[in-house]
Amino acid sequence: MAIEMSSPWIAGPIGAAAGVALAWIATEYKTRKTYRNVILLLAKSADDFAEMGQVEKALSIYDQILRDVPRLEPAVRGEIRFKQGLSYYGQSFEGARETNLNRAVEAFEEAIKLYKPEKHPVEHAQAQNGLGMSLVRLSETGGEKGVERAWQAGQAGQEQVQEELRVQNLKRAVGAFEEALKLYAAEGRAQEHAQTQNNLGDAYLLLSRLEGKDEDAATVTDAAANLNKAIWAYEEALEFRTPEEHSEDYAETQNSLGRARLALAQVEDGEMREALLDKAVSSFKAALEIRTAETHPEERAETQTLLGQALVLESEPQVSGSEVHWADRDGLKMAIEAYEEALAVRTRETHPEDYADTQNLLGRALVILSGPASGPEDAANLKRAIRAFEEALAVRTLESSPKEYSETQNNLGIAYRNLSKQEDREDNLERSIRAYEEALRARSGGAKKKAGEKEKSGEEKAGEEVEKEEEVEVEESEAARAEEV
């Protein structure tokens, strides 16, 4: 039995109606069957509000049930807490992100305790999956506890504390997804199993980025292990998510699988690297079969950008000693086409950060395509690259994005230096130097200092300046080896 939203009891003053019902339940709670049905009807009305986007009203009813009804049966309370968790998770996309996600985590954790897996296996699995999803989303910021701990640690330790909390949240999410998967498999819930495998893949993919930031052998090994686990999870999900029966889910998982393969290719080498890049390209192309420009323009633009990155890595020149081996440039041309198609959707007005990212990637592909800059076609490509970098810099400013600004200025410096071999040598070298100087300025902290950061001594500044100069020189020298053939 369901209560229609047109019912005056529900559509009228909710607080008063629910309050009357709950007051009666509070005095008659011994007749469990009767009051349980009333509670479930109230919960159903809250579900209807949530489906209509009126989440605040839904949460108000859930809160009233939990607050005003004594001795709720564990399974009933578990159901209410689970639904609260879903509502808070949904609210995190609308605002108060961390607050809502922390409330979702608390609600799902209680639901897990109340839904005993031996009695309620599917409900327990659903609560575990909800917990995992909330923790993955919370890992993107670290969570409120992370902010508090970072404040206590001071400015210097803030970033490290945040990252530690993000890693902890992701590892907890992995544990929750794995618990859910065991129960879904035992109960034969193929669709939920596939969705949770996809979620598990997302958690491992994010974990690989956090644990693989340093370039020492141990962290690279950890990152590769997490990426292999992500690939396995996505491939398992695709056993159920077929293009014929679940086309959008299929495209989502293929896109994520391509991401994981692309990331793993960047820590492997030789034949393994080539095979992973080939598979990444195949994954992105499979996703693009579903994500058409007409039906999924934004998702298609994302996949086109990723496809471009994979094609560039496949096609970039390989340096061996003093020799440069140029790959087939058809892949680079396909990458450029992919970036340009993405930019038809990712405009500066509607998607400024994505626009800047894609313009920067387009510029790099054009620089690589120009090769040793030996002819007029190469010069034309370098000029196109320069325009792309300048477009990116219209968004990536020194004040708002110093790291990205430095990266793009460094790329701009390479493009101008290469162009100087073709025309206007003195002017283009001067432009190249200015771009490199801007890159150094951003890297050495020339942008606005973060609030509360101490002024460094002259000796510390000088040491950092030398380190940053060496970083830029390394990038330049690597590019030069490919350019001066």
User: What's the CA gap between 22 and 43, in Å, rounded?
Assistant: 12
Residue 128 counted as domain residue: no
Answer whether 176's CB lies under 8 Å from 142's CB.
Answer: no
pTM for the full model?
0.81
pLDDT given at position 470? 40
Residue 143 lies inside a defined structural domain of this protein: no
Question: Looking at the predicted structure, is the pLDDT value of residue 311 above 90?
Answer: yes
C-alpha 22/C-alpha 66 separation (Å) is: 10
In contact, 395 and 355? CB cutoff 8 Å? yes
Query: Residue 212: its pLDDT value, please?
Result: 67
**Which is higher by pLDDT, 74 or 29?**
74
* Cβ–Cβ < 8 Å for 304, 342: yes
Q: Are 199 and 246 in contact (CB under 8 A)?
A: no
Model confidence at 95, in pLDDT bands (50, 70, 90)? confident
Q: How confident is the model at residue 10 (pLDDT cuts 50, 70, 90)?
A: very low
pLDDT band of residue 59 (cuts 50, 70, 90) is confident
> Which pLDDT tens digit goes with each residue over 447-458?
444 434 444 434
Q: Is the pLDDT of residue 395 over 90?
A: yes
The DSSP-derived string for 272-305 is: HHHHHHHHHHHHHHHHHHHS-TTT-HHHHHHHHH
Q: Is residue 312 part of a domain?
A: no
Closest CA to 229 of 257, 268, 253: 257
On the question of pLDDT at 482 being above 50, the answer is no
Range of the domain at 345: 337-445+469-485
* Mean of the per-residue pLDDT values of the chain: 83
Q: Is residue 229 part of a domain?
A: no
Rounded distance between C-alpha atoms, residue 80 and residue 63, angstroms: 9
pLDDT at residue 281 tops 60 = yes
In a domain? residue 345 = yes
Q: Is residue 257 part of a domain?
A: no
Tell me the C-alpha distance between 337 and 332, whole Å. 9
Distance CA 99, CA 119 (A): 32
> Which one, of 348, 380, 342, lies nearest residue 362 by Cα?
342
**Cα torsion through 103, 107, 113, 118, rounded to 10:** -140
Spatial contact of 346 and 337, defined as CB atoms under 8 Å apart: no
Instruction: Quote the number of domains for the chain.
Output: 1
Residue 95, C-beta contacts closer than 8 angstroms, at least 6 positions apart = none
Please tell me the predicted confidence (pLDDT) of residue 171: 96
pLDDT band at 69 (very low <50, low <70, confident <90, very high): confident
Instruction: Write out pLDDT tens, residues 31-57.
Output: 455 566 777 777 777 878 877 878 888
Look at residue 327 and tell me whether its pLDDT is greater than 70: no
Q: What is the mean pLDDT of residues 402-414?
A: 96
pLDDT of residue 153: 45
Residue of 273, 184, 201, 285 lying closest to 235 (CA atoms): 201
DSSP letters for 398-445: TTT-HHHHHHHHHHHHHHHHHHTTTS-HHHHHHHHHHHHHHHHHHHTT
Residues 207-225, mean pLDDT to the nearest whole number: 81
The answer to whether residue 190 scores a pLDDT higher than 90 is yes
Q: CATH number for the domain including 482?
A: 1.25.40
Residue 440 CB neighbours (<10 A): 19
| Percent of the chain residues topping a pLDDT of 90 | 60
Q: What's the CA gap between 67 and 171, in Å, rounded? A: 33
Q: Give the model confidence (pLDDT) of 250-279 as tens digits.
A: 999 999 999 999 999 999 988 999 999 999
Q: DSSP string covering 102-146, please?
A: HHHHHHHHHHHHHS-TTT-HHHHHHHHHHHHHHHHHHHTT--HHH
Q: Is the backbone of residue 346 left (phi > 0), alpha (psi -120 to 50) or beta?
A: beta
pLDDT score for 477 = 39
Residue 286: pLDDT band (50, 70, 90) is very high
Residue 348 lies in a domain: yes
Q: How confident is the model at residue 71 (pLDDT cuts 50, 70, 90)?
A: confident
Q: What is the pLDDT of residue 1?
A: 34
240 Cβ partners below 8 Å, 6+ apart? 190, 191, 193, 194, 246
Let me know if residue 464 belongs to a domain: no
Q: How confident is the model at residue 160 (pLDDT cuts 50, 70, 90)?
A: confident
The three-class DSSP label of residue 21 is helix
324 strand-pairing partners: 319
